[in-house]
Amino acid sequence: MARVIIMVIDGFGVGHAPDAEQFGDVGANSFFNIGECYKNEFNKPMVLPNLARMGLVRACQQASNKVINVEDVDQHKGAYGYAAEISTGKDTPSGHWEMAGVPVLFDWHYFTDKENSFPKELQQQINSATGFEGMLANCHASGTDIIAKLGEEHIKTGLPICYTSADSVFQVAAHEEHFGLDNLYQYCQTVQKIVGPMNIGRVIARPFIGDNASNFARTGNRRDFSILPPAKTVLDKLTDAGGTVISVGKIADIFAHQGVSIKTKATGINALVDATIEHIKTADDNSLIFTNLVNFDQDFGHRRDPIGYAQALESFDKRLDEIKTTMNDDDVLFLTSDHGCDPTWQGSDHTREYVPVLAYHHHIASVDLGERSTFADLGQTIASIFELEKLTYGTSFLDELGFNM
């Protein structure tokens, strides 16, 4: 029985989606705009031979009618397409749940006030449940900016730094040593029980270290506390059928650990790729290895660093040879994303974009998958590969992959 590897290039779009106007994102195009910035900076195109060979450039051109500044390749070997999102939001849980076959068709709750974001009643409820006398920040903020601004006060007072963004999140930053990692996780678990019923998608623990504002830095011990998907995902169906789902990075957190058999944490793109390769070497048949490469979104998209993003893409592209070499004859690799995060766009939030859908196995030809109307097409295809019960949403493109199970 085949194995499937999904690698999510977090926050990587290929052109604004059909409903982008509702989100103020008409014109956003993560891939194209990264390529333009790179060309302007270095007077040469990005070098992404493996991604281009799999069809990423073609997918973006079809999605946006834009010619990407990427060095050309002569031969193509892979299936390529682009998918629109039907979930109501452009956030991490919505994107991942939809690609696993369960779109979010309800409205998340958001803390929309930029200042004094959390209502007094909610603050009182949280303080009472956690035993703290208050919280710092209580606003929309960039995670790195807020710890630089309030980290020293946090150490002095012992109060957690609580903030949010345009996503449906409640984020908590705290110092690993002064506040304690376990205390931070416990605080976030308590908060999640309070805000989960409000349809707040995630409570995110954001630990950091350092001595003062000049050297505070977030660590890799982030943890997301999510509500459960509203229905069984392809992860649940595979584990129910006796298969194995291996989470690399924050996948387990995104799915509230439901339907996940094995969990591996790693910090940084290379470490996440290393962990994925190790699982490819050792995973049993009938396994799904599901990796989230959070740093593309976290370190470059949100921080509006297109050059850093481009260079990270080039580095990741070089690792694809190792991944392919490690794959068995009947393994299938999928590359996709959960939303856009155009580093050239206004603000620092996600962007409503098409995401790439790329597929590879050792015997694949060049296959045009075209436009997919929902991310759930990926989940339905995975259900087909593992011969699972059909999902409610999505259309399988397994037949187009030329893959014999």
Q: For residue 179, what is the domain's CATH number?
A: 3.30.70.1250
Q: What is the CATH number of the domain that holds 286?
A: 3.40.720.10
The secondary structure of 151-220, three-state, reads HHHHHHHCCCEEEECCCCEEEEEEEHHHHHHHHHHHHHHHHHHHHHHHCCCEEEEEEEECCCCCCCEECC
Residues 209, 289 within the same domain: no
pLDDT of 296 reads 98
User: What is the rounded CA–CA span in Å between residue 203 and residue 160?
Assistant: 13
**pLDDT at position 294 over 80:** yes
Domain boundary among 179, 197, 226: 226
> Does residue 27 sit within a domain?
yes
From residue 291, alpha-carbon distances to 38, 53, 180, 196, 255 in Å are: 26, 21, 28, 25, 13
Domain boundary among 208, 226, 244: 226
Residues 191, 293 within the same domain: no
pLDDT of 405 reads 56
Residues 136, 271 within the same domain: no
Please list the residues that pair with 288 across neighbouring strands: 4, 245
> Does residue 115 sit within a domain?
no
Residues 264, 374 within the same domain: yes
Which residue range(s) make up the domain with 17?
4-105+230-401
Question: Phi first, then psi: what are they for 334, rounded to 5°?
Answer: -120, 135
Residues 208, 292 within the same domain: no
Any idea what DSSP says for residue 224?
A: E
- pLDDT, one tens digit per residue, over 311-340 is 999 999 999 999 999 999 999 999 999 999
Query: Quick one: which of 205, 154, 200, 212 has its CA closest to 183?
Result: 205
> Does residue 113 sit within a domain?
no
Mean pLDDT in residue range 338-348: 95
User: Within 10 Å of residue 45's Cβ, how many Cβ atoms?
Assistant: 15
Cα angle 374-378-380, degrees, rounded to a multiple of 5? 95
Residues 71, 32 within the same domain: yes
Residues 185, 141 within the same domain: yes
Give me the helices (H) in 100-169, please. Answer: 120-130, 143-157
The secondary structure element, H or E, covering residue 223 is: strand 223-226
Between residues 102 and 348, which one has the greater pLDDT? 102
Residues 357, 338 within the same domain: yes
Measure CA 396 to chain center: 22
Residues 235, 378 within the same domain: yes
> Does residue 110 sit within a domain?
no
pTM above 0.85?
yes
**pLDDT at position 2 over 90:** no
Domain count, the chain: 2
Residues 382, 250 within the same domain: yes
From residue 106, alpha-carbon distances to 35, 199, 238 in Å are: 35, 9, 25
The secondary structure element, H or E, covering residue 262 is: strand 262-264
- pLDDT, one tens digit per residue, over 132-168 is 999 999 999 988 899 999 999 999 999 999 999 988 9
Residues 125, 86 within the same domain: no
Residues 200, 266 within the same domain: no
